[in-house]
Amino acid sequence: MKLFLIAGEPSGDRLGAALMAGLKELAPDVRFEGIGGPAMQAEGLASLFPMEELSVMGLVEVLPKYLPLKRRIRQAAEAALEADPAALITIDSPDFCLRVAKIVKAARPGLKTIHYVAPSVWAWRPGRAGQMARVIDHVLALLPFEPPYMTAAGMSCDFVGHPVTAEPVASPADALAFRKAHGIAPEAPLVAALPGSRRSEVTRLIAPFGATLARVAARHPDLRVVLPTPPHLSQHVTQATRDWPGAPVILTAPDVPIRTAAFAAADAALAASGTVSLELAAQGCPMVIAYDMAPLTLWLMRRMARVDTVTLVNLVSDSRSVPEFIGPDCRADRIAPALLALLDQGPGAQTEAMRLTMDRLGRGGEAPGLRAARSVLKALAAD
C-alpha cells in the first residue's frame, strides 16, 4: 500500500511522523511518498522538496511567495497523481494542502483524500468546512469538539487525540538536570521564549519579546532565557537575540526529552500563539501568549473571528486563564506585567486549566499517531 503525504510546517511534520509510525505498525507493507520535514524523513519519507518552503502564514506574508508556492502546488499535485497512491493525506497547512487536493481530486475523483487537523471553523470562517468537503473525504481531528463540524459539512471525521498527550512528562530531576547542563542556577528565574517556527513570525515577534524580557530582567537581574528553534531559523534567531537579556540558551531542533525538560525547567513561558501552548501545558509550564501579524491579516481575522481567544489551552479547558496579547496589544509594556505576575505569584488558575486540557485531549489513552493510523485504515476500508 502506497500513501502520498504532505506536511508544510514543523508541527505537521511531527504529526506526519507519528502517523507514519502508527501505519507501519498496523500495516507493515505501507510505503510513503510526498513532502515532509526531518521527522517524517526519519520515518522513511524522501521529501519531494524542502518542507521549509511552505512555512508561510498570513495573507500579506504569502503574497511575495505566491508564484513559487503556486509552482510547488502544481509540482506536488503532479507527483501525487504519478505516485498513484491508495490515498492522499494532507497534514495541516490548508492554504497549500487543500489546493493540491483540489487538483488531485479533479483529475482523479475516486482517489481517497484525507486531511489531518480539522480547520478551526469553530473559531473563524465556518464556510471552510463546506469548501473543504469538495476535495476531502475524511478528516483526522485533534480536538474533541471538532468532528460534528466536519460531519455536518459532509466529511467523515474521527477525533484521534493530540500528539502532545503522547510526549513524556519531564520529572523534577529532568528539569534540574537541564538547568545544570546549561549553567542555569536552580533558583534563577527561567523563561522559555518561543517566538514561532516560521521566519515571518520570528521576524515580527523578536523585538517585542526582547523588549518584554528586558523589562522582566530589570525586576529580576538573574533572569535566564531558553529559546528552542528549528534548524532553518537557528542562525537568524541567534543573530536577532544577541542583545537580549538573560544569556539566552538557543536550542536548535531539540529532541523531545530536551524540549520537555526545558519547558519543565522554566518558571514561565512567553510564546507565540499556536500548538506550543499545548506543549507547555503538557509540562505544566504557565504561559503568556503574544502574537502579531500584518495589519491587513489581523483586520481580516478579527472580522471573521467567532471566539474571543486564540489560545488552545483557553479553548480546550473552556477558561480564559492564559493571558494573551494580540496585534496592537503585542507590546512590552503590556506583556511584561503578565509575565512578571507568573514569575512572582505562580501559575494560579493556569494549573487547573492545563490539567483539564491534557485530559480532554486524550492523555492516558492510546497514542494519537496510532489512533490516526487506525482512522486512515478504516477510511480506506470503507471504500
Distance CA 116, CA 143 (A): 11
Query: 278-298, pLDDT tens digit by residue?
Result: 999 999 999 999 998 766 666
Sign of CA dihedral 292, 296, 299, 300: negative
The pTM of the full predicted model, rounded to 2 decimals, is 0.77
The C-alpha cell at 5 is: 503525504
Spell out the long-range contacts of 252-260 with Cβ–Cβ below 8 A and sequence spacing 24 or more: 253/38, 253/229, 254/228, 256/167, 256/168, 257/168, 257/170, 257/174, 258/178, 259/228, 260/167, 260/168, 260/169, 260/170, 260/174
Is 190 within 8 Å of 267 (Cβ atoms)? yes
**Domain extents for the chain?**
2-161+364-381, 172-360
The low-confidence residues of the chain, meaning pLDDT below 70, are 55-66, 121-126, 294-307, 383
Cα gap 189→108, rounded to integer Å: 57
pLDDT in the model for residue 57: 42
pLDDT the model gives residue 56: 53
Helix (H) or strand (E) holding 16, with range, is: helix 10-26
Under 8 Å between Cβ of 118 and 139: yes
- State pLDDT tens for residues 58-80: 444 455 566 778 899 999 999 99
Report the sign of the C-alpha dihedral through residues 218, 224, 230, 231, in that order. positive
Res 160: pLDDT: 96
CATH 3.40.50.2000 fits 2-161+364-381, yes or no: yes
Q: What is the dihedral of CA 138, 140, 144, 150, to 10 degrees?
A: -30
What is the per-residue pLDDT for 125?
Answer: 61
274 torsion bin: left (phi>0), alpha (psi -120 to 50), beta (else): left
Architecture of the CATH domain 172-360: 3-Layer(aba) Sandwich (3.40)
Question: Given this model, what pLDDT does residue 268 score?
Answer: 98
Task: Using CB atoms within 10 Å of the CB of residue 355, give its burial: 0 to 12 exposed, 13 to 18 middle, 19+ buried.
Answer: middle
Residue 344: the pLDDT is 96
Non-local CB neighbours of 277 within 8 Å, separated by 6+ positions: 271, 287, 289, 311, 312, 313, 322
Percent of the chain with pLDDT over 90: 73
* Count, residues in the chain: 383
> CA 15, CA 279: separation in Å to the nearest integer?
13
Residues 6+ apart with CB under 8 A from 136: 90, 98, 101, 113, 114, 115, 155
Residue 192: strand, helix, or coil: strand
Q: How many other CB atoms are there within 10 angstroms of residue 193's CB atom? A: 25
Domain 2-161+364-381 and domain 172-360 have a common topology: yes
The pLDDT tens digits of the residues spanning 301-340 come to 665 555 677 889 998 998 999 999 999 999 999 999 999 9
